[in-house]
Amino acid sequence: MMPKSHSGDGYISDESDFFGDDNQKHEAENIANAFSKIDFHQQWSFLQRSVTAKAYTATQLLDPVVSRPSTPVPKGPRINPYEGQEDAWQLHETADEFLERVPPLNNQYLDWLWVANPYAKKADKFGDEGGNRDHPQFMKRGIELLEDFKERKARKERPRPDDLKKAILELATENGITNGKWLLFVTTDYVNTVWRTVVKATIEDRLGNGAKIAAQDKATGGPRVICIYTNDFNDREDIRRVVKELRELKCLHKDEKQSIWYKCDAYTYLSIMSGNEYGLKASLYGSADILTNRDLVVKPVDKGKRKASQASLGKFFSPERKRRAA
């Protein structure tokens, strides 16, 4: 015989402790109100990336581009300014482990992925505003240079872009804003292969002081940019060494007439891009020129001649701006 069912009406009232007392109800409501969809999705994304990375390992991570034996890893102390950051290579990781943990494709929350050369002479972060660089002073005076150029142009004085370029680069050198980077634009089919090659070469001290890759595709279907940093845009020989190594790693186009470009961080901070109103080229060097010694280089500023350099910058300002700056 089936047991007789009961509706439960009259057994549990709204005033009973079945739903908890007032304090328990209040606490439960606070927990519900504090729930954050953003935090949940970030935590879920981290777990999802770990699972996705394992699938990528089997299907996306290819053999190294270069077939020749790797350069022996240098001996000596290793320093990683990005140690402890989820979006950066860690000292205990191999290149493959880094890509497995944080694959460069299908990343929804990290803007950039970073790898630092652990043997670099300068251990500060590259491509940002940290370290011993006087970024605020550079930005203040750099913006003044650009504004002065526009004012002189509006007055039909015909200011020369080459003079503006020289003034900006001298100012950058004086304030320690000397990082620059070779730019690789890589289609998604080759992102994992090229990024793995760059990471491996960077941690083996074969390239510059670090590299980064755009982890999100801002323009759907477009190429991802990989930046390979060097410490000083004035150091033409080091810049040439790095691009030669990129050629050895088969990261350049087979037709060397198709250049990749080197841009200084000073231009990036001042938002100097292609087609700017100042008539400046957005890059300092092209690989086709620098590999054949056809490049022109800005001479480094001699610290002992800083006063002369400052006088050179002063001449660039208009009388009106000099009075406002006084």
Return the CA Rg of the chain. 27
Residue 131 has pLDDT above 60, yes or no: no
Contact assessment for residue 101 and residue 61, using Cβ atoms and an 8 Å cutoff: no
Contact assessment for residue 175 and residue 264, using Cβ atoms and an 8 Å cutoff: no
Residue 76 has pLDDT above 90, yes or no: no
End-to-end Cα spacing for the chain? 101
Give the whole-number percent of the chain exceeding pLDDT 70: 62
Q: What is the homologous superfamily of the domain 74-132+176-295 according to CATH?
A: RNA Cap, Translation Initiation Factor Eif4e (3.30.760.10)
Domain boundaries, the chain: 74-132+176-295, 135-165+304-325
Backbone angles phi, psi at 274, to 5 degrees: -60, 145
Residue range 203-225, pLDDT digits in tens: 999 999 999 999 876 655 678 99
- The pLDDT of residue 34: 62
- The pLDDT of residue 273: 94
Flag whether the pTM goes above 0.85. no
